[in-house]
Structure 1
Amino acid sequence: MSQGLSMRPGQRFREAVAVEHPLQVVGTINANHALLAQRAGFKAIYLSGGGVAAGSLGLPDLGISNLDDVLTDVRRITDVCDLPLLVDVDTGFGSSAFNVARTVKSMIKFGAAALHIEDQVGAKRCGHRPNKEIVSQQEMVDRIKAAVDARTDDSFVIMARTDALAVEGLQSAIDRACACVEAGADMIFPEAMTELGMYREFAGAVKVPLLANITEFGSTPLFTTEELASADVSLVLYPLSAFRAMNKAAENVYTAIRRDGTQKNVVDTMQTRMELYESIGYHEFEQKLDALFAQNKR
């Protein structure tokens, strides 16, 4: 076993943050996408709460999905991919410290490396939508304390996300982030920033690794890694880029087949059979099956 794989998931995540500046963390909607991200060279991956809601349940990101919904996808990803996985746990899946504790323990048990928990109310919204509501700073601090206290693995990363910018302004968001760090948060995720300078102010205040969420069609400009590095950002998140591209590709294929009565006109846009087999290690499994059959025939 390599030294990397002998490390716990949280250790691998922390090491990735320390080595790559800034660390690119790409959203993987399912286990297959996790393997594709690994082949592309990413060092950490992400499971979006909105992605679970839309991709696995066909529902909007409004706090409808539950802990078990997310754990199902976490397990499927960590079963086949050893990249450290950051998981979106929304507001903790419950209103009490016991709910937050259960969420943290479950994430560790299912092989996640890190999670982020936010300061929205339970009936939450997408972080880039209007009319968000947030809990008090003290309630958010209590969430972080509950998460930190529940850790059964000290390397597991607790990341605090604040949506306060759009509700109370930049200084309030920074104050909340600092309070979360004091409560034990390892990293900070300020949601829906609109200027590079905001990240610089956050980084200067919190003194822990800072994540920038560079999601498409949202409030945050599509800053480059070079620009974000200049603003002292430590992690750059692309939560649903491949998911959006996958959905558009599927829509185009369905439309073409229905319209043309054949898939001939879109075959050249598809992943080939051999490309799929390579990404999931099909031939390695088949070789083991052949060896088993050969042994049984003796």
Structure 2
Amino acid sequence: MASVKRLRALLADTSKIVVCPGVYDGLTARIALNAGFECLYMTGAGTTMSRLGMPDLGIATLNDMRDNAGMIASLDRKIPLIADADTGYGGALMVGRTTEQYIQAGVAALHLEDQVVNKRCGHLKNKELVDEDVFLTRIRAAVNARAQAEGDIVIIARTDALQSLGFDAAVSRLKAAVAIGADVAFLEGFTSKEEGRRVCQELSPTPVLLNMVAGGVTPNFTVQEAQDFGFRIIIFPAFALGPVYQTVAKAAKYLKENGDLPKSDAESAAEFSPKALFTVVGLRESMEFDVAAGGKMYSNGV
């Protein structure tokens, strides 16, 4: 529960904003941890792409998401992980089970949305919503499951209602969710900075999360702008997805056309040696642990 307490403490400090790079596997999580971020975000789209090789269309299951979130959360139990939980993967019983499973996996916060179970990325068109009563049933199920569990988790209520129902209806859904126990509000897909300012004002003092999707429908905010507008959490889901796609696609094209990998200078080659990459994901710590336990395999290094 240390990470949940840490996240609640960060949210209680109104002078700061929680900045979360979007990660989707062990390597991207380690890179973000090594950079010194105080909180991570597990992107559902990235999890679906990396684990299943498929688009974010409600295809990933609870098991897919929980297992990935649990692995990422285990890398550093002190650092909070906020994880996408989509629609909760079913009715009230399944939402309750999802909440319990995320708590057991060491996740510090999850967000639940009001799309139908066959959902789609919040920055795509023609999203379908459930009735407000169904959405609130999901939130209530998560709140009740948290109360029964031997643990804690921050519950983030997300609505995708802005696109089809308008700003007032979307904010009304979020206010209702907060009234029954959600800790943080998340208005997805707003299209102007003024709407961002308004949602923070309307929901104050409840913390509001900003989803900063590169190339999405929401205008770009820097971290400082987001804080100035009143947001308390900002997530960058495509933090790793974009650079990985661009770099690997370029390398794949070069290899296909030239039968070799792109040449790099000596400094870059050393940076990407097997040992250097293993160090990113804990080589040194693993060796030290083995030696401390009396192991001999790594006493002379690798």
- TM-score higher than 0.5 here? yes
Q: 1:159 to 1:288 in 2, by over 3 A?
A: closer
The answer for the alignment partner of 1:280 in structure 2 is 281
Which residue is 1:35 aligned to? 30
Shift of 1:117: 0.3
Q: Structure 2 counterpart of 1:224, which letter? A: T
Residue type of the alignment partner of 2:47:
V
Residue 293 (structure 1) aligns with: 296
**Cα separation, 2, equivalents of 1:103 and 1:60:** 21
Q: What runs of 5+ residues in structure 1 fail to find an aligned partner?
A: 1-6
- In structure 2, C-alpha distance between the alignment counterparts of 1:116 and 1:153, rounded to whole Å: 20
Counterpart secondary structure, 1:241: coil
Q: Report Cα offsets for 1:74-103 as digits up to 9, x if no partner.
A: 121122223111110110011x11000000
Matched, 1:188 2:185: yes
Which sections of structure 2, spanning at least 5 residues, go unmatched? Answer: none
Bigger helix fraction: 1
2:251–2:262 Cα contact (<8 Å) kept = no
- 2:168 is equivalent to residue 168 of structure 1: no
The Cα shift of 1:199 comes to 2.2
1:42-57 aligned at under 5 Å gives the runs: 42-57=37-52
Separation of aligned partners in 2, 1:295 and 1:228: 47
54-63 vs 197-206, which moves further:
197-206
Matches within 5 A, 1:247-258: 247-258=245-256
Question: Residues 99, 295 of structure 1: CA spacing in aligned structure 2 closer, same or farther, 3 A cutoff?
Answer: closer
Superposed, 1:112-191 pairs within 5 Å as 112-151=107-146, 152=149, 155-191=152-188
Aligned-partner residue type, residue 8 of structure 1: A
1:264 deviates by 4.3
Aligned residues: 289
Which residue of structure 1 lines up, in the alignment, with residue 8 of structure 2?
Answer: 14
1:141-182 Cα deviation digits (max 9, x unpaired): 111001000012564100000001111111111111101111
% identical equivalent positions: 33
2:225 partner amino acid:
E
Cα distance in structure 1, aligned partners of 2:192 and 2:159:
16
Structure 1 segments, 4+ long, off by >4 Å, are 266-271, 287-291
- The alignment's C-alpha RMSD in Å is 2.1
Contact 2:254 2:261 in 1 (8 A): yes
Give the Cα separation in 1 of the matches to 2:43 and 2:298.
Answer: 44
State whether residues 109 and 153 of structure 2, in contact with CA within 8 Å, keep that contact through their aligned partners in structure 1.
yes
1:88 aligns with 2:84: yes
| Paired position in structure 2 for 1:4 | none
Deviation readout 1:22-73 (Å, 9 max, x if unpaired): 2111111112211211111211101111111111100111111100011121
Identify which range, 103-112 or 252-261, moves more after superposition: 252-261
Confirm or deny: 8 A CA contact 1:84 1:112 kept in the other structure: yes
Question: Who is 1:110 aligned against?
Answer: 105
Is 1:203 the counterpart of 2:200? The answer is yes
SS across alignment from 1:26: strand
| Structure 2 counterpart SS, 1:293 | coil
Structure 1 range deviating more: 182-191 or 200-209: 200-209
